[in-house]
Amino acid sequence: MREGIVYLIGAGPGDPGLFTIKGRALLAEAEVVVYDRLVNSDILSGVRPEAELIYVGKASSHHALRQEQINELLVEKVAAGKKVVRLKGGDPFLFGRGGEEAEYIRNHGFDYEVIPGVTSAIAVPAYAGIPVTHRDAASSLAIITGHEKPGKQESSIKWPQLAQGIDTLVFLMGIENLDLITNNLVANGKRPDTPVALVRWGTWPAQEVLTGTLADIGRKVQDSHFKPPAVIIVGEVVNMRERLAWVENKPLWGKRVVVTRARAQASALADKLKELGASVIEFPTIEVTPEEDLSPLHHAFRSIDSFNWIIFTSVNAVDIFFTEMMADGLDIRCLTGINICAIGPATCERLRNRGIKSDIVPSEYVAEGLIEELEKKIKPGQSVLLPRARGARAILPEAINEMGAHVSEVNLYSAAPAANVCAEDLGQILAGKVDLITFTSSSTVTNFVNIIGAGNVEKLAEAKIACIGPITADTAKNKGFKVDLIAPEYTIAGLIEVILEQYK
């Protein structure tokens, strides 16, 4: 039997951008992933499809597995020769019980490695605009558990030393014991007016901050129904938040935005929206599926030098075309002398990455704009290869035929309605808990309505609708939506631009 290994990996505080490079690489290789409650699902998207995912999350008063069972599970999987990732929120060796797991693995004769994570004790205050140390306000820091081991006869926390000898105190997992913490600090010499901040879901789009003092923070928690998970920061550095807060200053902070693009294409839009502060619900309405029978494309390759033009209308078409071309033993040299068209900058860029410069990119990134450009260039009798999606609009090949050219249309893929829908995300959308819905094509609109049901469109009346162009907007209007935003340039960058303008 081959030898297994366990990687104890810290997933960081929540923001997937804070997950380490080494952690991401090992996660992609894992055969088994044992993960906690506070691990962002975006991080889990890096797990390969065939890997075994095992949830062992712990919430207050409810544990999916006891720690002893988690230890046994890790040894069971590594004993089977598996490459196991134990993915823990924050850092595995800071109140993460990683030390106990490491001991158990070692005592049973197996290997492990520790990949530290960005700890919430420092990252969460930073995202709230609170430096845990500052030359003018704090030169010492203590990180304390807010939830000691159950059944301990006596607390190991040295309250007098903390209250009188440390400038900044950070308590993790302490909201349920907040009164105990504040009372002990005051009783041991900390001033009642010492500033306190509670940061809930720190570094996540749902981040909330509640500030007060040791004297009044307990009452504020009750009044606001503030719930865990949260980090507690005590000290004068809390006062710096008023001038150092930065996450909340992002232009889309607090906005919940739905992205309906196919999952493979959603990242460019979703990542930018997150960067601007939005909470993004990725709700793909399209699944791009290559045609099972691509023999018409391979037939076209055999007579590729007979074509005067090749027109690409999507990045999907580019990817499938060149993948199949290479599989046929051809490369870009076989396209010498052929005019290449791209319908927009994204398709043009994808061609450029393949070593191809587009001869035509229309100023208006729709079929109508491309037709206007082609009318000046195409000559009667020329041959045009049009590799594209099944069911695409007929306007382009019909217009080219009217120019006297011959069109060979080849279907490369289908943009079918998404089969698997996240029930939780659907519930959020139907409950009207979204601020903005983005549509990047007519098919995203049609499929979205098919998923939610035409009768539920009116439930989204409060959400703003943003469309990538007028054709998509017309489809949305025909489906019953009130379109609020139409991108001036029919690109993802143009869509983001008009969204920013709305919320400026």
Catalytic residues: 36, 58, 173
Q: Name the amino acid, one letter, at 167.
A: D
Give the DSSP per-residue string, 182-201.
Answer: HHHHHHTT--TT-EEEEEET
Q: Is residue 166 a contact partner of residue 234, using CB atoms and an 8 Å limit?
A: no
Residues 6+ apart with CB under 8 A from 503: 251, 252, 255
User: Using omega within 30 degrees of 0 as the cis cutoff, is the peptide bond preceding 229 cis?
Assistant: yes
- Both tokens of 299, joined, read 């037939």
Instruction: Report the DSSP pairing between strands 464-467 and 436-439.
Output: parallel
Rounded CA-CA distance 105/78 in Å is 9
Question: CA-to-CA distance for 147 and 322, rounded, in angstroms?
Answer: 57
Nearest alpha-carbon partner for 319 in 395, 258, 388, 396: 388
Q: How far is it between the farthest Cα atoms of the chain? A: 92
Cβ atoms < 10 Å from Cβ of 45: 12
Q: Which of 289, 290, 300, 330 is nearest to 407 (CA)?
A: 300
Q: Which residues, listed in sequence order, are joined to residue 464 by a DSSP beta bridge?
A: 436
Burial 457-486 (b: 16+ CB within 10 A, else e): beebeebbbbbbbebbbebbeebebebbbb
